[in-house]
Structure 1
Amino acid sequence: MMNNTNINFSGNKKVSNNNQRERNRRYKRLQRDKKRKEFLQLKKPNTLTSAVPVSVQDVIEVRKIAPNGIWEVGENLYSKTYLINDLNYCTMTYQEQVSFFGEWCRILNAIDVYLFKFTIFNKNRDMVEFKNKILYQHKADEYNLQRDCYNDIITSKIVNSKKGIDQVKYLTITIQRSNYEDAAQGMSSIEANLLKEFAALGSMLVPLDSNERFRIIHDFLRMGNEEKYSFDLKKYINNGNDWKNYIVPDYIDFNENMFFTEDKCCKAMYVNPKSYPDDDLSDEFFDGLINITIPSIISVDYIPVNKTATKVALERKYMSTQDKIRKQQDKRNKRGNFTSEISYTVSKENDDVKEMLDDVNINGQKMFFVGVNVIITANSLEELDEAEDAVSLITENHGCYLDEYNLRQREALMTVLPIGNRYVSELRSMFTRMAGILMPFKAMEMQMKENPFYYGVNKETRNIIACNRKKLINGNGFVFGVTGAGKSMTGSKLEIGSVFLNTDDDIIIIDPTFEYEDVAKAFKGTFINIGPESRNYINPLHIDIKNLSPKNVRQIITQKSTIMCGICEHAMEQDFETCYRSIIDRCIKILYERLLTTPLEERTIPIMSDFYTILKDQPDKEVHDIVLALEVFITGSMNIFNHQNNVDIDNRIQVYGLRDIGEDLESVGMLITLSYIRQKIIKNASEGRFTWLYIDEFHTLMDKKYSRKYFISLYKKVRKLGGLCTGITQNVSDTVFDKDTAKLLSNSEYTMFLRMGAGDADVILDAFEGRLTEAHLKYIDNAAPGMGLIRFGNVVIPMDNRIEKDNIIYDIFNTNFQEKAALKVAQRKEGNVV
């Protein structure tokens, strides 16, 4: 009985185990089938809500909108769009690109959503906005000819570079959620990660609200009439009108292989999935495609595939290839051929599948279904054919080809626009390393739209560089370049012209070589020649006596005491003891407090002789040393600063020429000049006016002990007073290796690098670590005059700021001695110069 029981028990157990294993196998098959269905379902396009739209409004496949930019675009599908700020991929070295590509692929793998797409919109530049915000506007003065010359430069660069095309890039993500509240919460989490990841790459994502998303659709469907966009979401919410009325054109006519809007002929195409090369794509393929100079919109749709579903599909594919191998071998064995290898095609297919499995299991690759779609636009059918040929040529050069969407132009349009859904199924499975090649990055741009100045064009993209330094965190800056590289012309004069013509700001220039006398002449500024033989006088003790009051007298005493201490310290050429400072401060206090008590009508502006008289009356024994040192500045040969002002210090442009000042007066002259500049900046700040300060041959100012100390103090304070300082010098090393100037450089958001001297390359990389790389150096190595790099904060751009020699602006600012000499000779021959 016991044995039978045991036998029966053992037999039942065996049957039970077999049943369990069968159930497990059946369950695994069901799971594999489920994953396979999920895998295949991913490629299935969504269905249009209205197969035959009754009105133009029905064409747009958006169900509901929220002000924050989240749209319901399908059954449980919600999307949001982000503006992408570009980064300098094309300026990287090969090794830097490899490293960047690895990080980019990691980010692609981490985007876990239903669908995401990159949209590149090559749009017609809004010329109305362009003229209002980029071009220099006419004013009621005598300088509109010069403004037109600047505008000629800007517009010619626009037309000659990308034919008026303005490229904008977007990322749209779509997630599956059961309601808006869940979608908003999920989108917030995804957005936070995306913003962080793109910032780490060196790019930036800007979330768009619904107004901004509507503008994209409007500008494409109503290309040529972009300025007519007038949608306001708040008004729409209040009046209940259909928002689509403000977005769509009057009609859209879909034909078999193209469609028409109010003014445009359009064609939607796709890169045929079967035409992609078996090996990796070149990054030049997508770069060439998205940078066509044709009004167009291009999208790359990514559908992430679950890793488990990927493995199931690949394992199924592997089993299929193994089955092909067995069948081929069986056929050959039956024929008695036991040595022949399987066919190359099947062998290659088998190796490819194994490699893909290794990529998933070992190399961390992820699978995506990817579709590349293109819609081109033109003004006529002839132009459309030409545009299609141009785009096709680009793809064919890389082994791919374009196909038309026959009878699916509307589906393609709704897919390509950054709405967030997909209605076409022309997709190619790609692993991360191939999908990553279709990246939206090329080069950084700087195109501010709020009163910007022109700084040339991006050498890589040929787009104009437009920036307003007043909008940077810190507008101070430096210009570096060897003699002849264009420091004066490109680094300062062109910007000075922009400031003068485009703003009401004041401009002050410290000019050690008289290179800016032409600027003062061109714009009727004040050129102050500070030198023993000059009859231009500036008074270091000058104040506005009408505004002297008990409230500001203390501040004036402090300022003037600092100046006189600097002059006396230089004159005495010995250790400047504390007692000397006390005596000078006392005399200055007596001078201005006495002036304060004098009736206004009897006041006269003090000069150094007045200070000198008070100084001699002091009882201190140390006074004799100071009096003796100052004598040469009061009654001696260096008394050029002991006069009342006779120059226009209220002119918008002031140029302080220091070439003839002489070595004995150089330090004092620089110190007095800086004190005047400081007063001017403070006065302008009180009136809400900006002041631009340019210091040419910056190193000469910093070589002098007294002017160095005064300027460093000024530089640190000037930003808060509406001042923007620009130091112009030859060698980066001189600035970096000096601890004081190195701090000034590190606190400046603007830098221009023209052709550099030998040995400066490594210094640049160390000084701007993380912002400049070895790849950037090629743009300043042996660069032609007017070309180099320009930096605005973290944005670094290869710059070409050359202008045509037949432009009036070139004649005004040209500093080439040979060219100017030749011009004078020609003018004499024509009788224009005496």
Structure 2
Amino acid sequence: MIKLFQAKHNSERDAFAIPKSVQRSIPIKRVYKDGIFQVSGRFSKTWRFFDVNYKVASPEKQMELFMAYCTFLNALPVNATAKITLFNRRLNQKEFAHTLLMSFNGDGLDQFRVEYNDILSDKAADSNNLIQEKYITISTEAKNVEEAKAFFNRVGTDLTTSLSRMDSAIREISLSERLRLFHDFFRPGEEQEYHFDLTKTMQRGHGFLDAIAPDSLLFQKDHYEMGDCFGRTLFLRDYASFIRDDMITELMDYPRNMMLSIDIVPIGMDDAIKMVDKVIMSVDSDANRWQQRQNSNNNFTANLPYQMEQMQKVGKEYMDDLTERDQRMMFGVVTLTHLADSLEQLDQDTESLLSRTRGCEFATLKYQQEDALNTVLPYGLRRIDAVRTLTTESTAVLMPFKSQEIQDKGGIYYGINAVSHNLIICNRGNLLNGNGFILGVSGSGKSMAAKQEFTSLALSTDHDLIVVDPEREYGPLVRALGGEVITISASSAENCYINALD
């Protein structure tokens, strides 16, 4: 266990302590080396999972992914709370430069690397400098951290197995990465300044809040002020009768710093059946009393009111879902928080987001912004009572998957993702089979694509590149990159030729 004490002065942050109001608003009590947080008597742990190509898949593949996601939801532990979080954050320029931009070697080719890096930076700016990350946070009550660790180890194995059926990967994040998640939210615009060294922090007597907390956090009636920006938290108050599976991803396409969380509380099958059976018996009792009143008035042919008939029908269908269709009962709540530079911009963004809800009713939480913010952030808490009783399939409709991103460290630029509009940076050396073909009709840019990949590899790697060029179109490029051109013909100056009889 690591218990870090708050320092009175912090030389790294303008020599002042975190305000006590901010400390009270961040419910983290203790942090542990393996990324476990103790929050309000509960223990929580966060994993990062990666997207799959759901939106561009065929209807058959989408159905297959949907059913696999239902299986994943059914596998969530009953004695815990799950929180699926989608986080739009600004691109960390230091991370971008370190992982995606070319480094200079001083070999006379740095002028080309400068141009390449400028192109990547311009393309990244066109995508609003935002990237989307997906996390799942599991929280549970435990007697001590050792018991919580054993529980999270089992859960991590189950999550990995379930998501692998969707061709999605999941990764346990470290303590520093989890703190970075809160830092990037609490300090928009300072993403590249994050630094947390556990050993140095303990030696200096500083607290982990120094690394993540904003300079100020003030909650108002329907919004909050965080540093120099403004924020507002919304919640899903009422569901539409029909919800499309792209509602969540369409909301998160809005180009702002924002975070959306789906809290899921699985209910045990025995408890769920008892609850539904109790509701069915209550509706039947109301129907019997209504019928008795009609009989006492000699109205023996009266039919049940439509609303009462529908309640009976829905109750029986719900029971069939639980007992025959492998569905589970879940309590769910959806919360969303977004940030803006001014209150006017915040109001405009709220209106724009509400227009993307596809018939569902989102509402602003009044006088509950602090509890709502602690609910939407991946602490593992649920502080607002706005749950809705759902089945597995109705929960799975809140689909968090959209399009797989490819941004490999040490990779080269291939283009723009047509769905997310983010950069495609691929390192084919990481693949099981890195071979490739460039196919297309005449004039579609096959040669240009090949030259672009050839140039990128020559500038960023020390690979041996060999070009067989019957059309003699690569010579100027090879010479510019410091390569050697060998002409093979019967009349070549190098006297290089191929004897067909060999």
- Work out whether the TM-score is over 0.5: yes
- Give the structure 2 partner of residue 99 of structure 1: 64
Q: Which residue of 1 aligns with 2:388?
A: 428
Query: Which among 202, 206, 231 is matched to residue 266 of structure 1?
Result: 231
Alpha-carbon distance between aligned partners in 2 of 1:343 and 1:149, rounded to the nearest angstrom: 73
Residue 6 of structure 2 corresponds to none
* Higher mean C-alpha displacement, 324-333 vs 293-302: 324-333
Measure, in 2, the Cα distance between the counterparts of 1:123 and 1:276. Answer: 27
Partner of 1:650: none
Give, in whole Å, the separation in 2 of the partners of 1:207 and 1:371: 24
Alpha-carbon shift at residue 357 of structure 1 (Å): 0.8
State whether residues 479 and 487 of structure 1, in contact with CA within 8 Å, keep that contact through their aligned partners in structure 2. no
Provide, for residues 329-376 of structure 1, a one-character-per-residue CA deviation record: whole Å limited to 9, x for no partner: 233333333223111111111111110011111112111111111000
Change (3 A) 1:667 1:373: farther
**Partners of 1:263 and 1:139 in 2: how far apart?**
40
TM-aligned CA deviation for residue 141 of structure 1: 5.9
Aligned to 2:12: none
- Asked if 1:317 is matched to 2:301, the reply is no
Is residue 2:35 matched to residue 1:69? yes
What is the aligned counterpart of 1:110 among 57, 69, 75?
75
Q: Find the counterpart in structure 2 of residue 89 from structure 1.
A: 54
- Identity of paired residues, percent? 30
With over 3 angstroms needed to count, the CA separation of the structure-2 counterparts of 1:510 and 1:390, relative to structure 1, is same
Superimposed CA distance per residue, residues 384-439 of structure 1 (whole angstroms, 9 cap, x where no aligned partner) = 122111211101xx111221111111111111111111111111111000001123
Equivalent residue runs for 1:309-458 within 5 Å: 309-395=271-357, 398-448=358-408, 450-458=409-417
State the number of aligned residues: 482
Question: Which residue in 1 is equivalent to 2:15?
Answer: none
Matched, 1:155 2:117: no
Pick aligned residue for 1:499 from 451, 457, 465 = 457
Distance 1:666 1:528, change over 3 A: farther
Secondary structure of 2:277's aligned partner: helix
Describe the shift of the 1:200–1:487 C-alpha distance in structure 2 as closer, same or farther (beyond 3 A).
same
- Please report how far the alpha carbon of residue 243 of structure 1 lies from its aligned counterpart in structure 2 after TM superposition: 1.2
**1:528 matched to which residue of 2?**
486
Structure 2 Cα separation of the partners of residues 89 and 476 of structure 1: 24
Listed one character per residue, the Cα deviations across residues 89-124 of structure 1 (whole Å, up to 9, x for unaligned) are: 223211122122122212211211410011111001
Is it true that 1:220 corresponds to 2:182 in the alignment?
Answer: no
Identify the match of residue 93 of structure 2 among 110, 127, 144: 127
- CA positional deviation for 1:148: 4.4
- How far off is 1:140 after superposition? 4.3
Residues 78 and 529 of structure 1: is their aligned pair in 2 closer, same or farther, counting only changes over 3 Å? same
| Structure 2 Cα separation of the partners of residues 361 and 524 of structure 1 | 71
Deviation at 1:482, TM superposition (A): 4.0
Query: What secondary structure does 1:528 align onto?
Result: coil
SS at match of 2:240: coil
Distance change in 2, residues 1:95/1:78 (3 Å): same
Q: Decide whether the 8 Å contact of 1:57 with 1:245 is kept in 2.
A: no
Paired residue secondary structure (1:369)? strand
Q: Indicate whether 1:230 and 2:195 are aligned.
A: yes
Cα distance in 2 for residues equivalent to 1:363 and 1:170? 28
Give how far 1:506 is off. Answer: 4.2
Q: Distance in 2 between matches of 1:498 and 1:198?
A: 34
- The alignment partner of 1:203 has SS state of coil
1:705 aligned partner? none
Q: Are 1:264 and 1:379, in contact at CA under 8 Å, matched by a contact in 2? A: yes
If the length of structure 1 is used for normalisation, what is the TM-score? 0.55
Whether contact under 8 Å (2:71, 2:162) holds in the other structure is no
Between Structure 1 and Structure 2, the one with more helix by share is 1
Tell me the SS of whatever aligns to 2:414.
strand
**2:475 equivalent among 517, 523, 546:** 517
Q: CA deviation at 1:171?
A: 0.7
Structure 1 residue identity aligned to 2:386: E
Secondary structure in structure 1 of the residue aligned to 2:57? coil
Which secondary structure does the structure 1 equivalent of 2:20 belong to? Answer: coil
- SS of the aligned residue for 2:71 comes to helix
| One-letter amino acid of the structure 1 residue matched with residue 239 of structure 2 | Y
Secondary structure at 2:101 match in 1: coil
- 1:153 is displaced (CA, Å) by 3.4
Q: Aligned to 2:400, what secondary structure does the other structure show?
A: coil
Q: CA deviation at 1:56?
A: 1.6
Q: 2:261 matched to 1:282?
A: no
Residues in 2 aligned to 1:522 and 1:483: alpha-carbon distance in whole angstroms: 28
Query: Separation in 2 of the partners of 1:149 and 1:232?
Result: 35
2: CA distance, partners of 1:667 / 1:68? 67
Q: 2:16 corresponds to which residue?
A: none
CA distance in 2, matches of 1:376, 1:312: 39
Once residues 481 and 128 of structure 2 are traced to their aligned partners in structure 1, the CA distance between those partners, rounded to angstroms, is: 33
2:325 is matched by which residue type in structure 1? N
1:59 is displaced (CA, Å) by: 1.7
1:268/1:404 contact within 8 Å kept: yes
- Which residue does 2:259 correspond to in 1? 297
**What is the correspondence of 1:18-57 to structure 2 with a 5 Å cutoff?**
54-57=20-23
Distance 2:324 2:461 in 1: 61
Q: Deviations over 1:440-486 (max 9, x none)?
A: 212211112x333111112222110113334x155741214145243
Answer whether contact 1:325 1:346 (CA < 8 A) is retained: yes
8 Å Cα contact 1:300/1:372 also seen in 2: yes
For residue 46 of structure 2, give the secondary structure of its aligned residue in structure 1. strand
CA contact (8 A) 1:369 1:428 kept: yes
Q: What is the aligned counterpart of 2:146 among 170, 174, 181?
A: 181
* Separation in 2, partners of 1:269, 1:667: 78
CA distance in 2, matches of 1:365, 1:285: 22
Kept in 2, the 8 Å contact 1:265–1:380? The answer is yes
Q: Deviation digits for residues 665-692 of structure 1, max 9, x if unmatched? A: 4685xxxxxxxxxxxxxxxxxxxxxxxx
Choose which of 217, 240, 249 in structure 2 pairs with 1:252. Answer: 217
Q: C-alpha offsets along residues 481-504 of structure 1, whole Å, 9 cap, x if unaligned? A: 1452433221x2111111233345
TM-score by length of 2: 0.90
Q: Give the structure, 1 or 2, with the largest relative contact order (CA under 8 Å, sep 6 or more).
A: 2
SS at match of 1:163: coil
1:587-666 map, 5 Å: 640=497, 665=499
How far off is 1:286 after superposition?
A: 1.6
Change (3 A) 1:529 1:237: same
Whichever residue aligns with residue 294 of structure 1, its letter is R
| Deviation string, structure 1 residues 536-589 (Cα, Å, up to 9, x no partner) | 235xxxxxxxxxxxxxxxxxxxxxxxxxxxxxxxxxxxxxxxxxxxxxxxxxxx
Corresponding letter in the other structure for 1:452: G
Describe the shift of the 1:405–1:512 C-alpha distance in structure 2 as closer, same or farther (beyond 3 A): same
Provide the C-alpha distance between the structure 2 equivalents of 1:522 and 1:394, rounded to a whole number of angstroms.
51
Residues 210, 233 of structure 1: 8 Å contact kept: no
Return the offset for 1:223: 1.0
The two structures, once aligned, show a CA RMSD in angstroms of 2.2
SS in 2 for 1:507: coil
Which ranges of structure 2 fall in alignment gaps of 5 or more residues?
Answer: 1-18
Letter in 2 for 1:468: N
How far did 1:84 drift?
Answer: 0.6
Hey, what's the Cα distance between the residues in 2 that align with 1:239 and 1:435? 46
